[in-house]
A = this chain, B = another copy of it.
């Protein structure tokens, strides 16, 4: 055979395995059943439920928030005071979270100086020898001077250098100073994109008009696409009581789920909101429960000394957590899954063969026809098949 003829054969000869067709209802039934299972699994679970034929991408997001509402409070420390957004939202603008002050311990007129510590097991003293100059007790409020001074008529505590008078945070205002904050509303604007699919969307959907936006409040059933949320609703939906949570603060997650099937029209790709408390309210394995931090407003008093109002702010931090995966048909994962299914179908054949060759009464008979044992050439040239007898002459 010439070289070109050989190549021609290589290219255009088609090799197909010789198939032994066995008419056994048992084997046939098992094979079809297994085949059906695979096909149902691929169709229902892989394609329909898991959408494994899709390529995936994670969401990239940008969030801006705006809180609205005013509150009138009447406390001994502050007198009558109206709180507006610039006072109770700290910092005035955040990235993915915003903090709403709900309770506060206000200490006015602090200046640098020395004063007796707040009584506690670490600060109480009998005499100067109980205090150590320069000690920065981690649970204390300043640096000890080494003196033991009168805190009240009965109690003596170590004197500290600090912003004086010291804040006494042992008693938290109850009910919370701004417990009415549950009526505040927050507008959340969220802009997402799936860079792999060049897909962009906003949580303010295209069919929503400005008039609706100005008057709506989010509600899972009636207004699921309104981006204005009442704080009280958020807290209630996350299973908490606003008035209790307002006392010591906490962290609430506002989850925006952008999971989308981009094989469908993009208008089906809408955000789903859910709410959950993120911090631990269980007091047993907890430390510093709730959520609070201290900040100060600095002044110069009339003697030109730096004075400050220290505020221990308790409140709810709302973390806007945007997540989601988008899927879109792509040939690579499709072929990977089709390939896997085909390999499985092949495996089913092997299983059926095994069943046929081992578990049926005719096994040996089938085996005889399926396998052609070829002896090594040198052993027996003429009797190449051990089963040559099955090729009966007529």
Partner of A340 from the list B94, B204, B336 (CB cut-off 8 Å) is B336
Does A76 reach chain B (CB closer than 8 Å)? no
User: Of the 9-residue stretches A168-176, A183-191, A236-244, which lies at the interface with chain B?
Assistant: A183-191
CB neighbours of A370 from chain B (8 A): 16-19
Partner of A70 from the list B87, B99, B136, B208 (CB cut-off 8 Å) is B136
Contact B136 A71 (CB under 8 A): yes
1/0 per position for A71-94, CB-CB distance to B under 8 A?
A: 110000000111011110011111
CB neighbours of A16 from chain B (8 A): 19-20, 22, 349, 352-353, 356, 370
**How far, in Å, is A282 (CB) from chain B's closest CB?**
9
Give Cα distance in the complex from A362 to B32, angstroms: 29
Does A52 reach chain B (CB closer than 8 Å)? yes
CB neighbours of A139 from chain B (8 A): 68
**How far, in Å, is A376 (CB) from chain B's closest CB?**
6
CB neighbours of A210 from chain B (8 A): 283-287
Does A195 reach chain B (CB closer than 8 Å)? yes
Does A138 reach chain B (CB closer than 8 Å)? yes
Does A382 reach chain B (CB closer than 8 Å)? yes
Number of interface residues of A (CB under 8 A): 154
1/0 per position for A303-335, CB-CB distance to B under 8 A?
A: 010110110010001010101000000011001
Give Cα distance in the complex from A326 to B32, angstroms: 37
Contact B86 A310 (CB under 8 A): yes
1/0 per position for A341-381, CB-CB distance to B under 8 A?
A: 11110110100110010000010011001111111110000
Contact A82 B142 (CB under 8 A): yes
User: Of the 9-residue stretches A123-131, A151-159, A260-268, A289-297, which lies at the interface with chain B?
Assistant: A289-297
**How far, in Å, is A381 (CB) from chain B's closest CB?**
9
Contact A377 B356 (CB under 8 A): no
Partner of A284 from the list B209, B341, B349, B388 (CB cut-off 8 Å) is B209
1/0 per position for A379-391, CB-CB distance to B under 8 A?
A: 0001010001011
Partner of A339 from the list B134, B321, B344 (CB cut-off 8 Å) is B344
Asked, given contacts A142-B70, A191-B278, A340-B336, whether A92 binds B372 with beta carbons under 8 Å apart, the answer is: no
Give Cα distance in the complex from A195 to B374, angstroms: 55
Contact A70 B140 (CB under 8 A): yes
CB neighbours of A394 from chain B (8 A): 388, 393
**17 more A-B contacts (CB under 8 A) besides A187-B287, A205-B285?**
A11-B28, A11-B32, A12-B24, A12-B29, A17-B18, A52-B332, A62-B253, A71-B143, A82-B160, A82-B161, A93-B317, A94-B95, A209-B285, A228-B287, A300-B307, A335-B340, A342-B347
18 contacts between A and B (CB under 8 A): A13-B21, A14-B24, A14-B356, A70-B136, A72-B143, A86-B296, A187-B288, A189-B280, A206-B285, A208-B285, A209-B284, A213-B286, A338-B340, A340-B340, A342-B344, A343-B343, A391-B391, A393-B393
